[in-house]
Chains A and B, each alone.
Chain A
């Protein structure tokens, strides 16, 4: 199978402020402008698929892929409901969704498409698709983030996405919806005074953005466990977006990286980054973890080796 054609990747935050209240702070406005730049890039590209991996769509039964052709609803965020409602109607590439599911299953993953009227599409996916593809000019696909999945499973999921893009000859833009540091303030704040929650979070975010700026996506993938321990609230088992993004985009450092914006979103780190495949590679990490091709499930250590 030939390599898939991935035109570029976008890393963007899930919070609703850039969509619902960009005027509330200078930072939210800058993030909105960065989304707008990405929207234009997508429009000017020859993309025929926007593939979204959202950290705000958790799943349990394997990996869920949105399979409704035109999901439609009015969504309200659990925390930021007072900012307003988010009506949406998206156009999904259902044939790609089925191919993605098939590719995931062929690599040993549990996967299914979901196509139900009223299915609750998550805040992050809605923000991304409404700002990046407001007229539904390009069909999209959204995949969940399994709450129990760790590195091997996430890498294999990325490779499955790659398989499906290649098999259908798509020209894809890959979108990862995730914060950097994700610790928000636990009190209501004046948006005009928003800032990154702590100096440590800010320093780590800037280090990550240095890597992004240098196009070192696979190096970031290798640092995922460290990032999780340092600046991620322990809601899930691991920081997975860089694993999935790198696996989907080819597991290398060959990108032109552009950090379009980096701002606080109620204390968390929100960045809009574009990674465009290029020639030449930088990086100084030794990749000492296994490069997994097929997911074999849990090893069942509880049931083996017992006396």
Chain B
């Protein structure tokens, strides 16, 4: 069997606003649009994914929060409705997803062997989180690839962002080994914003773009610092400053997603493809991708 490989890594933020603004038939709410910079960036990345041969998407989500180890979806099908607890007015999405259980079990097994506390989730009533659904829908609206969803163990809450960085790195290395042993071609998805301070009020029309801006300039400056490092192919440096960035901007990187993905990809030294940056209810959201194949790597923005 040929070795499995990671064919693309995607930073894919999951504000439910982008799905709301797209008006897919699965979502009950209706929007007049909004957040085009992000949505058009997502649309372009989705087109790139169509040109790539892969077997499964593996997504690390901040909205399946676990404190007792890292958990993996462990049933082949989940069909239900996901309602965002924070923005239920925007996101009530009827989903029908397939899971690559074999790959999930392999990741769980290899992570366990490397000393990480793990658990397979096999309760059929379990509801898929809106982070998983938003990122995956925007990257693959046809939903024609199986997923593996990995929960985010909240080490940053229990210990510190430094411990989060170490443990998420260990998980990333274990997942990369599992992918290699599986023989599959996999797209990794780190589902989160960068800076993550929200406004606590919402405009009467949520998609009124005249009201949308970053929470404060400090958040913006930090976000741009990271974008510059990503453009420069300095992902080890990004991960090294991750604890500081996370604390300064209340960043959603606290869940460990970007650290996990970069560790799995060996801390790329090539430029990230930048697809778009925009604020959503004050938070900073970047769509980016890391393409290991130089011939297909693009300068997008």
Using a CB–CB cutoff of 8 Å, the interface residues on chain A facing chain B are 57-62, 74-76, 78-79, 81-82, 84-85, 110, 114, 116-120, 122, 146, 148, 183-188, 233-235, 266, 302
A76-B127, A187-B117 known; A110 and B66 CB under 8 Å? no
Using a CB–CB cutoff of 8 Å, the interface residues on chain B facing chain A are 64-69, 71, 81, 83, 85-89, 92, 117, 119, 121-123, 125-127, 151, 153-154, 157-158, 198, 200-202, 216, 281
CB of B93 to closest CB in A, whole Å: 10
Instruction: List residues of chain B with CB within 8 A of the CB of A60.
Output: 86, 198, 200, 281
Contacting B83 at CB < 8 Å: which of A118, A148, A186?
A118
Structural contact, A74 and B117, CB atoms closer than 8 A: no
Structural contact, A186 and B123, CB atoms closer than 8 A: no
> What are 9 sample pairs from A and B whose C-beta atoms fall under 8 A apart?
A62-B201, A74-B125, A79-B68, A81-B126, A118-B81, A122-B85, A186-B153, A233-B158, A234-B157
Structural contact, B158 and A81, CB atoms closer than 8 A: no
Structural contact, A120 and B85, CB atoms closer than 8 A: yes
SS of A interface (majority): loop
Structural contact, A120 and B198, CB atoms closer than 8 A: no
Structural contact, B92 and A116, CB atoms closer than 8 A: yes
Structural contact, A120 and B123, CB atoms closer than 8 A: no
Structural contact, B88 and A266, CB atoms closer than 8 A: no
A76 and B119 CA atoms in complex are apart in Å by 15
A78-B151, A110-B201 known; A61 and B87 CB under 8 Å? yes
Structural contact, B66 and A62, CB atoms closer than 8 A: no
Instruction: List residues of chain B with CB within 8 A of the CB of A84.
Output: 123
Instruction: List residues of chain B with CB within 8 A of the CB of A148.
Output: 198, 200
Instruction: List residues of chain A with CB within 8 A of the CB of B202.
Output: 61
| Contacts A81-B71, A185-B68 supplied; 16 other A-B pairs, CB < 8 Å | A60-B200, A61-B200, A74-B125, A78-B65, A79-B71, A117-B92, A118-B81, A118-B83, A119-B83, A120-B83, A120-B85, A186-B68, A186-B69, A186-B153, A187-B69, A233-B158
Instruction: List residues of chain A with CB within 8 A of the CB of B127.
Output: 75-76, 120
Question: Of all chain B residues, which has the CB nearest A302?
Answer: B216
CB of B197 to closest CB in A, whole Å: 8
A79-B66, A185-B68 known; A85 and B200 CB under 8 Å? no
Instruction: List residues of chain A with CB within 8 A of the CB of B89.
Output: 114, 116
Question: Of all chain A residues, which has the CB nearest B126?
Answer: A76
CB of A106 to closest CB in B, whole Å: 16
Q: 10 tightest CB-CB pairs across the interface, nearest first?
A: A85-B125, A81-B123, A76-B126, A74-B125, A118-B81, A116-B88, A118-B83, A60-B198, A235-B157, A60-B86
A73 and B65 CA atoms in complex are apart in Å by 20
Structural contact, A186 and B67, CB atoms closer than 8 A: yes
Structural contact, A119 and B85, CB atoms closer than 8 A: yes
A63 and B85 CA atoms in complex are apart in Å by 12
Instruction: List residues of chain B with CB within 8 A of the CB of A266.
Output: 68
Instruction: List residues of chain B with CB within 8 A of the CB of A81.
Output: 71, 121-123, 126
CB of B141 to closest CB in A, whole Å: 22
Structural contact, A188 and B65, CB atoms closer than 8 A: no
Instruction: List residues of chain B with CB within 8 A of the CB of A114.
Output: 88-89
Residue of A84, A118, A119 most packed against chain B (CB within 10 A) = A118
A233 and B92 CA atoms in complex are apart in Å by 31
Instruction: List residues of chain A with CB within 8 A of the CB of B158.
Output: 183, 186, 233
CB of A125 to closest CB in B, whole Å: 11
Structural contact, A188 and B69, CB atoms closer than 8 A: yes
CB of B206 to closest CB in A, whole Å: 10
Structural contact, B83 and A188, CB atoms closer than 8 A: no
CB of B124 to closest CB in A, whole Å: 8
Instruction: List residues of chain A with CB within 8 A of the CB of B201.
Output: 61-62, 110
Instruction: List residues of chain B with CB within 8 A of the CB of A183.
Output: 158
CB of A52 to closest CB in B, whole Å: 15
Question: Of all chain A residues, which has the CB nearest B160?
Answer: A234
Contacting B68 at CB < 8 Å: which of A59, A110, A184, A233?
A184
Instruction: List residues of chain A with CB within 8 A of the CB of B154.
Output: 235
Structural contact, B88 and A85, CB atoms closer than 8 A: no
